[in-house]
Structure 1
Amino acid sequence: MYTATAVFDVLLPGDSRSLKAKRSYVRPVVAALRRFEVSAAEVGEQDLHGRALIGVAVVSAEAGHAGEVVDACERLVAGRPELELLSVRRRLHGDDD
């Protein structure tokens, strides 16, 4: 069994000057990520209006499949025109860890 995680640090548009506006950008991204059958949530920077940390996690029997799913999630976040992907932190854990 393998567990893959990724945390996406994203910059939100300048008009997200309130937490309500921030949610309007983050919620659709999290919903789109969940279509890949991953756990997804805003996991950090909740008090900052212009930034967000979005985390995903997937469990798979094969390391390659877990990596492919995280790759697809990264492409989705990077492809969102309203967001700027600043960095990605990825991890893969296996039974031996």
Structure 2
Amino acid sequence: MSIVVGLCTIELFFPDSQSLKDKRHVLLSVKDRLHDKFNLSVAEVGEQDLWQKSILGLACVANDGRYVNQVLDQALNLIRNNPTVEIVNSRIELL
């Protein structure tokens, strides 16, 4: 049996954010939705002190690489469809 770990790093921009509190409110909602819908591990891994930027790390573990890639792609689409946040850059890696 093989185990596949998928890592996704996403650089986000919050155009309407006026404070860290605004950013964290939106970010918490995004993180909760990703975890609830896709059962992903989600953490803010960079740019914590900036009020209009953030870097999120997502992790998915399964036994099928295609499934892992599909889940991470769907997670990116969920974020893309959120009008309060913009994806600046993203990267998916399968280990």
TM-score over 0.5 for the pair: yes
How many residues are aligned here? 92
Secondary structure of the corresponding residue to residue 55 of structure 1: strand
Secondary structure of the corresponding residue to residue 17 of structure 1: coil
Hey, what's the Cα distance between the residues in 2 that align with 1:78 and 1:47? 23
Hey, what's the Cα distance between the residues in 2 that align with 1:53 and 1:77? 13
**TM-score, structure 1 length as denominator?**
0.90
Query: Could you tell me which of 44, 48, 51 is aligned with 1:49?
Result: 51
Give the Å deviation of 1:19.
1.4
**TM-score, structure 2 length as denominator?**
0.91
Hey, what's the Cα distance between the residues in 2 that align with 1:53 and 1:40? 11
Which consecutive segments of 4 or more residues in structure 1 shift more than 3 A?
A: none
Give the Å deviation of 1:13.
2.0
Q: Percent identity?
A: 32
Note the aligned Cα RMSD (angstroms).
Answer: 0.9
Counterpart mapping for 1:1-97 below 5 A: 1-14=3-16, 16-35=17-36, 36-93=38-95
Gaps of 5+ in 2: none
Gaps of 5+ in 1: none
